[in-house]
Amino acid sequence: MNFKPLGDRLLVQRVEDTNTTATGIIIPDNAKEKPSKGKVLAIGSDVEEISVDDTVVFGKYAGTELALEGTEYLVLEVSDVLGVLA
């Protein structure tokens, strides 16, 4: 993959959550929401607070979906990011 985000944008790959609840109930794929966290794969030149390989949390409808070489990614602006998981 060869994609470089511009400005204050990030290239993120969503991180899937487990498909069971705390009590062991299995959630089918069609009932699950899209994950709202992901791993940062690339950053634009204006991004300062976030680094590549950070796991970030973002809003449910944030960003623009992008498919590259058959894999789904998300392009986010820094303002779409709610925080970085430690």
Domain CATH code at residue 33: 2.30.33.40
69 is a domain residue: yes
47 is a domain residue: yes
What confidence score (pLDDT) does residue 60 get? 86
Tokens 């470089």 belong to 4
The Cα 30–Cα 80 span in angstroms is: 25
Tokens 């779409």 belong to 80
What confidence score (pLDDT) does residue 23 get? 73
3 is a domain residue: no
4 is a domain residue: no
Q: How many structural domains compose the chain?
A: 1
The dihedral sign for the CA sequence 53, 84, 50, 61 = positive
Planar angle of CA 8, 40, 85, nearest 5 degrees: 105
pLDDT in tens, the chain (86 residues): 689 999 999 999 998 765 666 677 766 555 455 668 999 999 999 999 999 999 999 998 899 999 999 999 999 999 999 999 98
What confidence score (pLDDT) does residue 27 get? 61
72 is a domain residue: yes
Q: Decide: 13 and 39 in contact? Cβ < 8 Å.
A: yes
Tokens 């998300």 belong to 74
pTM, entire model: 0.79
Residue range of the domain that includes 70: 9-16+25-85
